[in-house]
């Protein structure tokens, strides 16, 4: 067994796992479960500060992204794909797959999206049904300011599909203020439940756009409209993975009972970034640092895979490399959800210190000690 310090899946607490061991029920025939499902959806909405309806989908985080594109896109629709990261760009595939025409807005992969630049672009480009954007683009750790960008798009009459799978519950989200129309999350990132569930928060505008389509949605499983009236009819469109939803609920209850969650993520994110920089390592990003994941460059003469392998085999800790344009260049530490704890980070950075020095990297500070000093100086005390 390895300690998972990856940016999803994260570690899952025992009582959350145990919540999945409740007796299995028939999700369609057991009315208590239908209530439980609805309450869990409402809990997600309330944690994201909105009365908009949330749906929990029986599929991995990716299903939420695909379902949003499938449900909104009609053949020929023009869609603005905001691309300053691997997931950002990836939305173009879902748009095309459902007959839409993606228009890629490329921006620097090392900087957060600039709302001013986007405003200029929107002044001379129009005709988009919706736009896609990523809150935290996990391969680079890029945090985009969705609270600025969604309202800007909304002013131009453009609906938004936001992937906040690896940000929400580690970074503050207010779905109403941010004006996100379809907001996607997943169970295995900052929520720290097992992988297997996606959820989507839907604004009235998004629902109207889906309802007013002229052509049918080209998918059943990836359609958001199949859930319409599930509660009135007491019938789900497909059998819900009840055990997964029990675990999700236990993890969400923990989040609801944890008022210090965002300040803790911020304290740990800041201390991690500063520790690596003070040690002489470079962060991949220039701006837009998410407090859920830190991405640093591995010195050129050292193999990312060798470092990851030693972390794994010598210290039993899993860190992640990255993929696409970042493959073989960086290492990612996932400090989201349950992982965002001082004790886990001290152990992880202590091991990383040992491995990097073993490969001859001249670190200027002891990573674990320096981190602990910084995080305590910030006032964060919970281990
Ligand atoms: C993890 C993640 C998802 C879900 O994708 P999986 O690779 O299937 O886990 C979607 N978007 C982002 C930004 C993610 O980090």
Q: 288-323 burial string, b = 16+ CB within 10 Å, else e?
A: bbbbbbbbbebeeeeebeebbebbbeebebbbbbbe
State the greatest distance between any 2 C-alpha atoms of the chain, in Å, as a whole number. 64
- Flag whether the pTM goes above 0.85: yes
- Give dist(CA 328, CA 324) in Å, integer: 9
* Share of the chain residues as helix, strand and coil, in percent rounded to the nearest 5: 45, 15, 40
246-267 confidence digits (pLDDT tens): 999 999 999 999 999 999 999 9
CA of 218 from ligand 1 middle (Å) equals: 23
What is the distance, to the nearest Å, from the Cα of residue 9 to the centroid of all Cα atoms in its chain? 11
CA of 24 to the centre of ligand 1 (A): 28
Mean pLDDT of 145-166: 98
Residue 177: pLDDT band with limits 50, 70, 90: very high
Binned at pLDDT 50, 70 and 90, residue 383 comes out as confident
Distance 213 CA to ligand 1 centre (A): 28
Atom of ligand 1 nearest to the CA of 87: 13
Instruction: Report CA(333)–ligand 1 centroid distance (Å).
Output: 15
Atom of ligand 1 nearest to the CA of 198: 4
Report which protein residue has its CA nearest ligand 1's atom 12: 165
Task: Give the other-Cβ count within 10 Å of 197's Cβ.
Answer: 26
How many residues are there in the chain? 383
Could you tell me if 272 and 371 are in contact, meaning their C-beta atoms sit under 8 angstroms apart? yes
- Residue 260 DSSP code: T
pLDDT category of residue 381 using cuts at 50, 70 and 90: confident
H or E stretch including 332? Answer: strand 330-334
DSSP helix/strand/coil, 378: coil
Mean predicted confidence (pLDDT) in 221-245: 97
Name residues contacting ligand 1 (CB within 6 A): 8, 60-62, 87, 134, 137-138, 163, 165-166, 186, 189
Instruction: Name the residue of 61, 93, 192 whose CB sits within 8 Å of the most ligand 1 atoms, as the mutation to test its pocket.
Output: 61
Q: What is the pLDDT of residues 90-142, one digit of tens each?
A: 999 999 999 999 999 999 999 999 999 999 999 999 999 999 999 999 999 99
Mutate to test the pocket of ligand 1, among 57, 140, 166 (most ligand atoms within 8 A of CB): 166
What is the gyration radius of the CA atoms in the chain, in angstroms?
A: 21
**Residue 166 CA: which ligand 1 atom is closest?**
15
């Amino acid at each position: 067994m390895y300690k998972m310090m990856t940016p999803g899946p994260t570690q899952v607490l025992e009582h959350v796992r145990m919540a999945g061991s409740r007796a299995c029920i028939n999700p369609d025939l057991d009315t208590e479960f239908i209530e439980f499902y609805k309450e869990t959806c409402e809990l997600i909405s309330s944690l994201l500060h909105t009365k908009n309806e949330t749906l929990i989908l029986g599929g991995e985080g990716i299903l939420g992204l695909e379902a949003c594109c499938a449900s909104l896109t009609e053949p020929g629709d023009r869609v603005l794909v905001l691309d300053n990261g691997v997931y950002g760009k990836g939305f173009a595939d879902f748009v095309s797959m459902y007959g839409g025409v993606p228009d890629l807005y490329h921006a620097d992969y090392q900087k957060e999206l600039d709302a001013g630049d986007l405003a200029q672009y929107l002044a001379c480009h129009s005709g988009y049904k919706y736009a896609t954007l990523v809150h935290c683009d996990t391969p680079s750790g890029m945090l985009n300011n969705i609270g600025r960008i969604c309202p800007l798009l909304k002013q131009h009459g453009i609906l938004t599909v936001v992937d906040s799978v690896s940000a929400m519950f580690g970074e503050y989200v207010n779905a109403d203020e941010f004006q996100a129309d379809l907001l996607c999350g997943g169970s295995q990132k900052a929520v720290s439940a097992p992988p297997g569930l996606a959820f989507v928060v839907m604004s009235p505008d998004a629902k109207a756009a889906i309802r007013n389509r002229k052509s049918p949605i080209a998918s059943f499983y990836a359609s958001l409209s199949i859930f319409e009236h599930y509660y009135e009819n007491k019938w789900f469109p497909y059998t819900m993975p009840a055990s997964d939803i029990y675990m999700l609920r236990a993890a969400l209850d923990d989040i609801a009972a944890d008022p210090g969650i965002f300040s803790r993520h911020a304290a740990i994110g800041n201390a991690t970034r500063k520790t690596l920089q003070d040690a002489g390592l470079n962060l991949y990003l220039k701006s837009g640092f998410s407090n859920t994941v830190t991405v640093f460059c591995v010195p050129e003469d050292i193999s990312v895979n060798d470092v990851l392998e030693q972390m794994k085999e010598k210290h039993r800790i899993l860190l992640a490399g990255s993929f696409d344009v970042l493959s073989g260049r960086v290492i990612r530490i996932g400090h989201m959800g349950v992982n965002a704890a001082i004790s886990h980070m001290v152990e992880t950075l202590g091991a990383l210190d040992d491995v990097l020095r073993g490969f001859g990297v001249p670190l200027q500070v002891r990573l674990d000690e320096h981190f602990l000093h910084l995080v305590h100086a910030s006032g964060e005390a919970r281990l």
